[in-house]
Amino acid sequence: MKALKFKLYAHKRNRYLKRSLHAAGVIYNHAIALHKRYYRMWGQHLSCAKLQKHKVRPIRRFPPVGQAHLAKLRKRNQFWQLVGSQAVQDICQRIEKGYQRFFKHHKKGARPPNFKKVKKYKSFTLKQAGYKFLGGNRLKIGKRVYQFWNSRAIEGIVKTLTIKRTPLGELFVSVVVENIEEPTIKAETSRIAGFDFGLKTFLTC
């Protein structure tokens, strides 16, 4: 695996990606609220496995918790639909990793995941869908085509694509690629080579 990073051309259409980042920040904070409220109600951590299997206790006066709940909200909320379903799943996985780091290193001062400023939310990740490289420096994300500074060739199988925003508001594309090993080609030579096998008698009749 290797990661490649490309800067997107500055263009007015980039505002759509920034809106998607904004929506991702809203979804992230909503998921954090689910975790915190679930812990207050039941004193338990809402693990990623529970989210995926949706095996959580129902909460009175509160909607069902989990990715299924987020998916339902996304269908009803047009703004949330700016973030793909796989990106929503990645957000849940990020939160789970944050909690696992907290459980492992809390004695060293690690803190649990917390709310983030939506306007400064940094990135969202697409895995197997939602994007397509069109050749050259053109990349299609959703229904729109963007251009990036193609500083190196993208060779191999693209596993994930992440849109990142810097504190200055610049947008970058980070691509994780699985390398494909090329078969080793043995060079042939016309030179004659001699070998000493250490045998007194090589051929007898």
Q: Chain-wide mean pLDDT for the chain?
A: 83
Per-domain residue ranges for the chain? 2-178
Q: Is 200 exposed, middle or buried (0-12, 13-18, 19+ CB in 10 A)?
A: exposed
> Does residue 146 contact residue 130 with C-beta atoms inside 8 Å?
no
Longest dimension (CA), the chain: 99
* Residue 80 pLDDT: 87
Q: What is the pTM of this model?
A: 0.78
Q: Render pLDDT for 76-107 as a digit per residue (tens, 0 to 9).
A: 888 888 998 889 889 989 999 999 999 999 88
Higher pLDDT: 21 or 39? It is 21
Token pair for 109: 């001062």
Q: Render pLDDT for 104-126 as a digit per residue (tens, 0 to 9).
A: 998 899 999 999 999 999 999 99
